[in-house]
Amino acid sequence: MKAVLAVVCLLFLLPDVLHSQSSDAELVNVKELIPDIVLDLKYSTVVNFTAQKLYTTNECLLARGMVNRLAVVQDSLRARGLGLKIFDGYRPRAVQYLMFEIYPDPNFVADPVTGSKHNRGAAVDLTLIDLATGAELSMPTAFDYFGDAAAHGWTIGLSAEQIANRELLRSMMEDVGGLTRLPSEWWHYEHAPSTSIPLYDFQMK
Ligand SMILES: [Zn+2]
């Protein structure tokens, strides 16, 4: 009888589990869920390492599981007068091919054959800003700096403030649970469950 009850319970619970997994993986518009998050998608301008405009808009898409966590981080930051600014989120796979053609170093640009977690909406590049002024907090390097100083744990030549700001971003992102850092880039975080999302190749509208 207990076994029958367990099966019945499982049948009731299963659709909920499946639903929450699939909605976590759905790509959503970040601004619609976090209206005060600042977007500065570098690849929608020519100010990036390719010196080309690679996106048609400044719209940012990410997996819902990631966005839900960013909303929690943004709430905590807001209480301190700070906020998040996003440099990149979902990235079409065709853009990944172009980037790799220009900078074919898999230490810094993911090979498009296997794809980047950005192509799945499972990775975000971001920094901290002062909410009142919009100014970026001082970080160890600029975004997309291809060198050792971009790595977590790097201290040579950095000010105490730059190290503290990098650590603040890291602790806020990691404390929410489910987000992991990339050791070589202080600005890049991933939502591991969303890495099962397929590689997409559509432009944002
Ligand atoms: Zn990234």
Contact 131, 191 (CB under 8 A): no
SS3 content of the chain, % helix, strand, coil (to 5): 40, 15, 40
Instruction: Report the C-alpha gap between 190 and 180 in whole angstroms.
Output: 5
- Which CATH entry fits the domain spanning 27-196: 3.40.50.720, 2.40.30.10, 3.30.1380.10, 3.30.460.10? 3.30.1380.10
Q: How far apart are the first and last CA of the chain?
A: 54
Q: Determine the pLDDT at residue 10.
A: 44
pLDDT in tens, 54-101: 999 999 999 999 999 999 999 999 999 999 999 999 999 999 999 999
Instruction: Report the C-alpha gap between 172 and 182 in whole angstroms.
Output: 15
Residue bearing tokens 């900078």: 103
Q: Determine the pLDDT at residue 197.
A: 86
Domain boundaries, the chain: 27-196
Length of the chain: 205
Q: How far is the CA of 132 from the centre of ligand 1 (A)?
A: 26
Q: What is the DSSP letter of 181?
A: E
Q: Determine the pLDDT at residue 89.
A: 98
Q: How confident is the model at residue 204 (pLDDT cuts 50, 70, 90)?
A: confident
For the ranges 14-18, 33-37, 117-121, 163-167, which has the lowest average pLDDT? 14-18
Q: How far is the CA of 90 from the centre of ligand 1 (A)?
A: 9
Q: Determine the pLDDT at residue 1.
A: 46
> What would the DSSP string read from start to end of 37-104?
-EE--GGGSS-STT-S---SSS--EEEHHHHHHHHHHHHHHHTTTEEEEEEE----HHHHHHHHHH--
Q: Determine the pLDDT at residue 20.
A: 52
Mean pLDDT of the chain: 90
Q: Determine the pLDDT at residue 194.
A: 78
Q: Determine the pLDDT at residue 45.
A: 96
In the predicted model, is pLDDT for residue 40 greater than 80? yes
Residue 194, φ and ψ in degrees, nearest 5: -80, -5
**Can you read off the two tokens belonging to residue 52?**
């080309």
Contact 149, 162 (CB under 8 A): no
Q: How far is the CA of 88 from the centre of ligand 1 (A)?
A: 7
Q: Determine the pLDDT at residue 9.
A: 43
Q: How far is the CA of 181 from the centre of ligand 1 (A)?
A: 10
pTM for the complete prediction? 0.88
Identified catalytic residue from 26, 32, 136, 185: 185
* Average pLDDT of the segment spanning 38-52: 96
Residue bearing tokens 């990775």: 123
Q: How far is the CA of 108 from the centre of ligand 1 (A)?
A: 9
Instruction: Report the C-alpha gap between 42 and 95 in whole angstroms.
Output: 13
pLDDT in tens, 99-151: 999 999 988 899 999 999 999 999 999 999 999 999 999 999 999 999 999 99
* Average pLDDT of the segment spanning 17-35: 79
b/e map of 34-67 (b: 16 or more CB within 10 Å)? beebbbbbbbbeeebbbeeebbeeebbbbbbbbb
Query: Residue 190 catalytic?
Result: no
